[in-house]
Amino acid sequence: MGSCKEEDGNQPNCLWVDGPIIVGAGPSGLAVSACLKENGVPSVILEGSDCIASLWQQKTYDRLKLHLPKQFCELPLLGFPENFPKYPTKHQFISYMQYYAIHFSIEPKFKQVVQSAEYDVVCGVWRVRTQDCEYVSRWIIVATGENAEPFIPDIQGIEKFQGHVRHTSVYKCGSEFQDQRVLVIGCGNSGMEVSLDLCRYNATPHIVVRNTVHILPREIFGFSTFAVAMALLKWLPLWLVDKFLLMVTNFTIGNTDTLGLKRPKTGPIQLKNATGKTPVLDVGALSQIKAGKIKVLQVAEGVREITRKGAKFVDGQEREFDSIILATGYKSNVPAWLKGCDFFTKEGMPKTPFPNGWKGDNGLYTVGFTRRGLLGTASDAVKIAKDIADQWRLNKGCKKH
C-alpha cells in the first residue's frame, strides 16, 4: 500500500491499495481476506467500529447461541475447535473469529467509517473515502452484509412512551425488565429468544404477530433440523423436503395455528430462499407460549400507535405496557455510501439473485448477501478470492514481461 497524494490542508491522504479494499470486518470480511491471503493476494479491510465482528461483540444479547450446528457456521480454511459444543455460544463464536483473524494475520483498519465509495471511470479504479483518508484500488469487496445496522420502524407516538424502548441490538438480558409487562414487536428468532429470556426474570412478554411465521423445532429426533433438510435436499426436490419438515414439525411440536402463530402457505425453505425470511428455530419459547407465560397478540396490521402508557392496535385493541422491545431485525447500509452503482437494490441487496450475486462490474464484489447465513458467506468468499487471484496473477505476469 502506497501513498498517492500528500495531505493538503483538510484534504484526506490518498493511499493506493495493491489488492482489494474490503469494507467490513465481520465474518464476511474476515473470510474473504483469509481466502485472498491463501491465494497470495493482499487486501485492506476498512471497519467503522473499533473491533472485528462488531455486530456480534456489541449488538447481541447474552443468551445468544448459534441457531445452526457449528459445522454449518465455519469460515473457510479454519474450523471451530473440537471442544466447542454443537451450538457455540456468542462468546465462543467471537473467540473463534478473533483467533481466525490472528491465524491469518488479518489486521483491519479500525475506526475507518466509509463515507462514500465510487468507481472512477477515467482512471479505472475505486475511490473509497473515510473520514480521514481516501483509499484507491482496482477492486472493492462489499462485506458489510445484510445486517449492517438495526432496522427501527417508524411507529407513530413512540416518542411519547413513558417506559423504556429498546431495540434488540442494545438488549443484553431481561434483568432490567423484571416483573414488567413488555411489548415485543417482531416474532422472528430474536423476538422469540428475547421473550424467552424475559420469562426468566418474571416479566410477561406480549409478542406481536402481524404476519404468518414458520416455527420449527431446532432438532428432529436428536438431529439438527437444518442438517436433516440439507441432507434431504441432496436427494429430494425442495417442495418435498418442505412437506416432510412440516409433517415432522406438526408431530413434534403440534399445530402452531392454535397458538396464534399461523404458518405461511409457502414452505420454510422455499420462503427462506425467495425472501430471506428465516424460520424460527424453537429453543424453548413455544413451551412458554403454551404455558401462557408468553402472550401472543394476533393483530392483522400490527401496532397503530404508541401511547404514553402502552399501545393501540389497528384492530382496535389497546393495552398498557411498562417497556417496549423492538425485535425488528437489521438492514443493509450499502445505499448510504456506495455511489453511482446500480448493482444493489434500494434496500441494499444485490439485484442478481443467489448464487450469482457475488460479482458486479468494474471490480465490484459482494460477500454476506446470500440470505443463506455463514454457509453462503463461505461459498462467496472462496469464489471471490479465486476470481481476483486469477486477475492478480495475470496482472503480475504482464508486468514481468
Among 58, 68, 49, 56, which residue's Cα sits nearest to residue 92? 56
Measured torsion, CA atoms of residues 249, 254, 257, 262, in degrees rounded to the nearest 10: -20
Q: What is the pLDDT of residue 397?
A: 61
Put the strands of the sheet holding 364-366 in their side by side order.
44-46, 21-23, 140-142, 364-366
How far is Cα 15 from Cα 17, in angstroms, rounded to an integer? 6
* Nine cell digits for residue 128: 473509497
Q: What is the pLDDT of residue 56?
A: 95
Among 174, 180, 182, 184, which residue's Cα sits nearest to residue 209? 184
- Taking only the tens of pLDDT, the chain with its 401 residues reads 665 544 444 555 889 999 999 999 999 999 999 999 999 999 999 999 999 999 999 999 999 999 999 999 999 999 999 999 999 999 999 999 999 999 999 999 999 999 999 999 999 999 999 998 999 999 999 999 999 999 999 899 999 999 999 999 999 999 999 999 999 999 999 999 999 999 999 999 999 988 889 999 999 988 999 999 999 999 999 999 999 999 999 999 999 999 989 999 999 999 988 887 889 999 999 999 999 999 998 765 578 899 999 999 888 888 999 999 999 999 999 999 999 989 999 999 999 988 889 999 999 999 999 988 899 999 999 999 999 999 998 877 666 55
Q: What is the pLDDT of residue 11?
A: 52
Burial class for 8, CB neighbours closer than 10 Å (0-12, 13-18, 19+): exposed
Among 142, 36, 52, which residue's Cα sits nearest to residue 95? 52
Among 107, 72, 108, 109, which residue's Cα sits nearest to residue 88? 72
* Amino acid at site 163: G
Q: What is the pLDDT of residue 272?
A: 87
* Nine cell digits for residue 180: 414488567
Instruction: Give 111-154 as a DSSP string.
Output: S----EEEEETTTTEEEEE-SSEEEEES-EEE---TTSEE----
Q: What is the pLDDT of residue 1?
A: 62
Q: What is the pLDDT of residue 5?
A: 47
HSE of 255, CA atoms in CB hemisphere, 13 A: 2
